[in-house]
Amino acid sequence: MRAPAPSPPPTRAASAALLAVGAVPFAVGALLHVEDGRLSEAAIPCPFRELTGLPCPLCGSVRGVVLASRLDPGFLSFNAVAVAVLAALAAIGLAGLVAPRRLGRALPRPRGRWAVVAVVALVAAAWSWTLAHRASIAG
Protein backbone atom coordinates (compact mmCIF):
# COMPACT_ATOMS: atom_id res chain seq x y z
CA MET A 1 0.00 0.00 0.00
CA ARG A 2 1.33 3.42 -0.99
CA ALA A 3 1.73 6.19 1.54
CA PRO A 4 -0.58 9.13 0.93
CA ALA A 5 0.94 12.09 -0.87
CA PRO A 6 1.94 14.96 1.41
CA SER A 7 -0.25 18.04 1.45
CA PRO A 8 0.98 21.03 -0.49
CA PRO A 9 2.44 23.77 1.70
CA PRO A 10 -0.21 26.20 2.92
CA THR A 11 -0.27 29.64 1.34
CA ARG A 12 0.94 32.59 3.36
CA ALA A 13 -2.57 34.08 3.25
CA ALA A 14 -4.15 30.88 4.59
CA SER A 15 -1.53 30.63 7.34
CA ALA A 16 -2.01 34.29 8.29
CA ALA A 17 -5.79 33.79 8.38
CA LEU A 18 -5.46 30.76 10.68
CA LEU A 19 -3.08 32.68 12.93
CA ALA A 20 -5.51 35.60 13.11
CA VAL A 21 -8.57 33.43 13.77
CA GLY A 22 -6.71 31.66 16.57
CA ALA A 23 -4.84 34.58 18.14
CA VAL A 24 -7.22 37.55 17.87
CA PRO A 25 -9.72 36.16 20.43
CA PHE A 26 -6.89 35.90 22.98
CA ALA A 27 -5.76 39.47 22.23
CA VAL A 28 -9.31 40.76 22.65
CA GLY A 29 -9.78 38.57 25.72
CA ALA A 30 -6.78 40.21 27.35
CA LEU A 31 -8.65 43.53 27.12
CA LEU A 32 -11.85 42.26 28.77
CA HIS A 33 -12.33 42.01 32.51
CA VAL A 34 -13.54 38.89 34.30
CA GLU A 35 -14.37 38.87 37.98
CA ASP A 36 -15.54 35.71 39.75
CA GLY A 37 -16.08 34.04 36.36
CA ARG A 38 -18.32 36.84 35.08
CA LEU A 39 -17.58 39.38 32.37
CA SER A 40 -17.98 42.95 33.52
CA GLU A 41 -19.63 43.84 30.19
CA ALA A 42 -23.29 43.00 29.63
CA ALA A 43 -23.62 39.39 28.51
CA ILE A 44 -25.59 38.43 25.44
CA PRO A 45 -27.95 35.57 26.30
CA CYS A 46 -27.46 32.29 24.45
CA PRO A 47 -30.60 31.52 22.38
CA PHE A 48 -30.04 27.76 22.67
CA ARG A 49 -29.76 27.98 26.43
CA GLU A 50 -32.81 30.25 26.66
CA LEU A 51 -34.88 27.67 24.73
CA THR A 52 -33.59 24.44 26.28
CA GLY A 53 -32.00 25.34 29.61
CA LEU A 54 -28.84 23.49 28.50
CA PRO A 55 -25.52 25.07 27.55
CA CYS A 56 -24.67 25.02 23.84
CA PRO A 57 -21.28 23.76 22.56
CA LEU A 58 -19.94 27.34 22.65
CA CYS A 59 -21.23 28.34 26.10
CA GLY A 60 -18.40 29.56 28.31
CA SER A 61 -16.06 30.17 25.37
CA VAL A 62 -15.68 33.90 25.89
CA ARG A 63 -14.96 33.58 29.61
CA GLY A 64 -12.62 30.66 28.92
CA VAL A 65 -10.65 32.62 26.34
CA VAL A 66 -10.50 35.70 28.58
CA LEU A 67 -9.14 33.63 31.47
CA ALA A 68 -6.73 31.70 29.22
CA SER A 69 -5.42 34.97 27.77
CA ARG A 70 -4.34 35.81 31.33
CA LEU A 71 -2.90 32.30 31.84
CA ASP A 72 -5.54 31.71 34.52
CA PRO A 73 -6.23 27.95 34.87
CA GLY A 74 -9.84 28.88 35.68
CA PHE A 75 -10.52 28.59 31.94
CA LEU A 76 -10.82 24.84 32.52
CA SER A 77 -14.12 25.48 34.32
CA PHE A 78 -15.59 27.05 31.20
CA ASN A 79 -15.00 25.96 27.59
CA ALA A 80 -11.47 24.57 27.50
CA VAL A 81 -12.17 22.84 24.17
CA ALA A 82 -12.76 26.21 22.46
CA VAL A 83 -9.53 27.53 24.02
CA ALA A 84 -7.61 24.47 22.76
CA VAL A 85 -9.06 24.77 19.24
CA LEU A 86 -8.18 28.47 19.01
CA ALA A 87 -4.67 27.82 20.32
CA ALA A 88 -4.21 24.99 17.79
CA LEU A 89 -5.39 27.22 14.93
CA ALA A 90 -2.93 29.92 15.97
CA ALA A 91 -0.10 27.38 16.24
CA ILE A 92 -0.86 25.87 12.82
CA GLY A 93 -1.05 29.34 11.28
CA LEU A 94 2.25 30.36 12.84
CA ALA A 95 3.89 27.11 11.71
CA GLY A 96 2.58 27.74 8.19
CA LEU A 97 4.22 31.15 8.17
CA VAL A 98 7.52 29.99 9.69
CA ALA A 99 7.98 26.58 8.03
CA PRO A 100 5.30 26.04 5.36
CA ARG A 101 6.96 23.02 3.69
CA ARG A 102 7.38 21.15 6.96
CA LEU A 103 3.76 21.83 7.87
CA GLY A 104 2.62 20.62 4.44
CA ARG A 105 4.38 17.29 5.05
CA ALA A 106 3.06 16.98 8.63
CA LEU A 107 -0.62 17.65 7.96
CA PRO A 108 -2.85 15.06 6.30
CA ARG A 109 -4.40 15.92 2.97
CA PRO A 110 -7.92 17.20 3.79
CA ARG A 111 -10.81 15.12 2.52
CA GLY A 112 -14.54 15.85 2.69
CA ARG A 113 -15.46 13.09 5.12
CA TRP A 114 -12.39 13.68 7.25
CA ALA A 115 -13.29 17.34 7.68
CA VAL A 116 -16.90 16.54 8.61
CA VAL A 117 -15.81 13.91 11.13
CA ALA A 118 -13.29 16.34 12.66
CA VAL A 119 -15.89 19.10 13.03
CA VAL A 120 -18.48 16.72 14.50
CA ALA A 121 -15.89 15.37 16.95
CA LEU A 122 -14.89 18.90 18.04
CA VAL A 123 -18.53 19.93 18.53
CA ALA A 124 -19.21 16.75 20.52
CA ALA A 125 -16.13 17.34 22.68
CA ALA A 126 -17.05 20.99 23.29
CA TRP A 127 -20.63 20.12 24.13
CA SER A 128 -19.57 17.32 26.47
CA TRP A 129 -17.21 19.75 28.22
CA THR A 130 -19.89 22.43 28.60
CA LEU A 131 -22.44 19.91 29.89
CA ALA A 132 -19.94 18.59 32.43
CA HIS A 133 -19.12 22.16 33.57
CA ARG A 134 -22.59 23.68 33.26
CA ALA A 135 -22.69 24.61 36.96
CA SER A 136 -19.67 26.94 36.60
CA ILE A 137 -20.79 28.19 33.18
CA ALA A 138 -24.28 29.05 34.42
CA GLY A 139 -23.06 30.39 37.73
pLDDT confidence of residue 11: 80
Q: So what's the pLDDT on residue 34? A: 66
Please give the span between the terminal C-alpha atoms of the chain, in angstroms, as a whole number.
Answer: 54
Report the pLDDT value the prediction gives residue 41, as an integer from 0 to 100.
47
Going by DSSP bridges, is the β-strand pair 34-35/38-39 parallel, antiparallel, or unpaired? antiparallel
- pLDDT value for 116: 85
Name the stretches of the chain with pLDDT < 50: 41-42
